[in-house]
Chains A and B, each alone.
Chain A
Amino acid sequence: VMNDIVTTMFNKKFMEELFKPQELYSKKALRTVYDRLAHASIMRLNQASMDKLYDLMTMAFKYQVLLCPRPKDILLVTFNHLDAIKDFVRDSPGILNQVDETFRQLIETYSCLSAGEFQLIRQTLLIFFQDMHIRVSIFLKDKVQNSNGRFVLPISGPVPWGTEVPGLIRMFNRSGDEVKRTEFTTDGNYVTPQREGSFDLYGDRVLKLGTNMYSVTRPVETHMSGSSKSLAAHAKENIAPNPLAKEELNLLARLLGGLEIKKPGGSETGFRLNLFTTDEEEEHAALTRPEELSYKVINIEATQEPGRRAELSRILGELEVAEPRPGSPGKGAALLALMDGL
C-alpha cells in the first residue's frame, strides 16, 4: 500500500503539473486530488473516514505552517515530510529515486527564494487554512491546541535563526557611535538557537515540525462540535454555484491525468480502512457531520461541454469502486501503518 501511494504521488507527470507556477487550488480541488491519491492502492475508505483523514491532514499542516519560526522553514517542513517518506520506501530503489528527483526539484525551485517571497507563500497558505478549528485529539493531549481549536503559540524557546533575543535597545549619534544602551523585559523567555537546519538533499533539519506525529501510538479522534460556527463564512464557498468550475475542471483534468487509480481484483485482496473504532461509529459520523464542514468534491455535472464531461468521466470515473471483500487486517495495525504516513 505504502509503495503504491508513494509511487502514485511522486510520478513524473503529476509532479510536473504541481511544479508549474499557478494559483493556490480551491478547497474543493484539493480535496478531490486528495481523494484520488488515497485510492492509489488497494485500500479504500468510506466518506466519513476520508473526511476525518482529510481533517487530520489539514489541521496538522496548518499547525506546521503557522508555527514555522522563519517563513523559509516551510521548506524544511517539506524536507522533513520527504525524509520520512524516503524511509518508508527505503527498500524500493526505484521509488526512492522518484522521491529524490522531486527533492532535487524542490531545492532547485525554492532555494533561491527570498524571505519575503517565502512569507508570501506562507501568508497565502494561511489564508487557505483560515477559520478552520477542528480539534485533534493528539494536539489537545500534547497541549499544542486549545479546547477552542486555536493552536498554542509558545513565548519561550529558541528564536528563529537570524533573529536576536528581544530586550536590547541601542542608540547611535550622528557619527555612528553607540551612545546609549538599555534593556527591556517581557514575560517571554527566549534563547539563542544552536544551529540552522540543512537545506541539502541530506542533513539534519533541526526543526521538528513536519516529522512523524505518530511515531508512538496515538489517538486519531477529531472533534467537530464548536468548530462549525467559525466555518459559517466559508459555507458560501461550497454551496453557491461556482463560476470557476471550468477553470478548476481543466486544472483537475491535468492533475488527475497523472494519477492512476488502482482497482482491487484478481489475486489482490483489497481492504477498507476505517478511522473510527467501529463501523457503526463511522456510519454515525457520516450522518452527523455538520453541513458547513462537509467537503463537496467537484461535481463534474457542473460542466456544460459534452466533450470535457466525457473526458473527465473517463479520468475521474470510478471513484466509487466496487467494495473489496471484507477481511481487513486488525484495525489497530492498519490504522497505525496508515497514520505513519501523515
Chain B
Amino acid sequence: GPRRMYRKEKSIQLKSGSAALYNNLSVLRLPGRQLACFSAVHGPSLSVVSAAADGLGFSHRQLQAKEGGMAVSTSVLTQAAWCVLPSRVLLVLTSQKGIQMYESDGSIMVYWHALDITEHPPAQAVFARGIAAAGGRFVCVGTSSGLVLVFDIPPKGTNITVSEVLEQHRDAITDIAAELGQAPDGAGDLVTADDAGTLCVWSTGEEFALLSKIPAFGFTCSSVKLWNGIVAAGYGNGQIRLYEAATGLLRAEVNAHARWIYALDVAPQTGKLLSGAEDSFVHVWKLSRNPDTEDVEIEHCHAECVTDTQVCGARFCDPEGNSFAVTGYDLSEIFRYSRA
C-alpha cells in the first residue's frame, strides 16, 4: 500500500491516565533549550513533563487545582495551556473554582482568579474552560456562563488585571483560539466557541470588537483554531467545518470522525491541521487557499488509529507539523508520531 506519512515514536510515560476533557494536551517548545514540555489534566491535578530533544531525559511535575476559600469540595481541572506572549510564557490552568496562572515551568503561581459563583444560575455546573494568548498582550479565558475574561498581562511580575469581559455567548465556552499565521485584512485575530456550537470572531486590542458570529447548527463545537483567516472548528457530530473569519461564510465541510471531536491543532508554517476524536482516530489534513479562486481547500494526508483509546488531546510538536503528540482517556502515556 502507499507509504504512511507518520510513524509511531517512543511514548512519554505519565503517572496516571488523562481525563476525558476537550483539548487535553498542551505542548510548549523551547527550541533554544532543546526541550519540549507536555501537560495533560488528570482530574484534580495536572501532569507536566519536560522532555529533552534527544528523547532521553524526562522530568515530571504535578500541579494541583487550587481549592476555593472554603474547602467544601475538591476542585477538578478542566484544561491547561501554555500561553506564549512576546515577553513571557505563562502556564494557565482552569478549574471548577477559577483560573490559576503559573510561570511556564509551573514553579510559581503568579495569579489566581476565583470564579464568582453568584454569577451563575443555581444548580448549574460552574467552571472556567477555554484558554488562549491573544494580541501579544492578553490571555483570554472562558467560563461556563458564556463569558470570556480578557486578562491584561504585564511583561513581568504579578500585576495581572481583568481588562474586559466579553458577553456574546449564552452557553459554556469550550475553546478559544488566536490567529496562528497571518490574518488577511478584516479577518480578526481571535475566535471563541461554545457548547451550543456558536462561534464568535473578534479583533483584539484595548477594546475587543466582535467581527462576525457563526451560528450553531445543532452540535457542540469542542475545539477551534484560526489560521490565515480560516476558522477550523471541530464538532460533537464528528465534523470539521472551515469558515472565513472575516465574513463567517462556510467554506468546507468534512465528515471527519465517527464520534465527538475532542481536539484540533494547526501547524502554522504549513497549514497542516490535526484532529483527534473519541472514535480512536487522529487525522492529519492540509489546509490551503487556491491563489486564483481564493477558495479554501482541505485534503486528507494521514489517518492514525490509536487502538482502544478515546483521544482527548492532540497537538503538533513543531511549527511545520512534522511531529505530533496524542493523549487518550485512561491512557497513562503520551503517544508521539513523526514524519517517516
Contact = CB atoms under 8 A, between A and B. Distances in A.
B259 A163 contact: yes
Kindly state the interface size class of chain B when it binds its partner: 35 or more
B280 A169 contact: no
Given A166-B238, A168-B254, A173 B295 contact: yes
Contact of A186 (B15, B42, B305): B305
Contact of B19 (A23, A115, A126): A126
A114 B303 contact: no
Interface in B229-252: 236-239, 244, 247, 249-252
Interface in B58-73: 71-73
Given A165-B255, A169-B300, A151 B73 contact: no
Interface stretch (A82-90, A92-100, A175-183, A209-217): A175-183
B16 A131 contact: yes
Contact of B330 (A150, A162, A187): A150
B138 interface: no
Nearest to B296: A171
B308 A162 contact: no
B160 interface: no
Interface string B306-318: 0111100000000
Interface residues of A, number: 54
Given A166-B255, A187-B303, A172 B250 contact: yes
Interface string A232-258: 010000000001100100000000000
Contact of A155 (B256, B279, B298): B279
User: Considering the complex of A and B, which 5 residue pairs feature the smallest CB-CB distances, nearest first?
Assistant: A116-B195, A21-B123, A184-B300, A233-B16, A164-B255
Interface of A: 21, 23, 66, 69, 71, 114-117, 119-120, 122-124, 126-127, 130-131, 133, 146, 150-153, 155, 159-160, 162-174, 176, 179-180, 182, 184, 186-188, 190, 230, 233, 243-244, 247
Given A131-B16, A168-B254, 19 more contacts: A21-B122, A66-B329, A114-B196, A115-B220, A119-B220, A123-B19, A131-B17, A131-B330, A131-B332, A155-B279, A160-B259, A164-B255, A166-B281, A172-B253, A184-B303, A188-B305, A233-B42, A243-B71, A247-B73
Interface of B: 15-17, 19-21, 42-43, 71-74, 76, 122-123, 125, 171-172, 174, 195-196, 218-220, 236-239, 244, 247, 249-260, 279-281, 293-300, 303, 305, 307-310, 329-330, 332
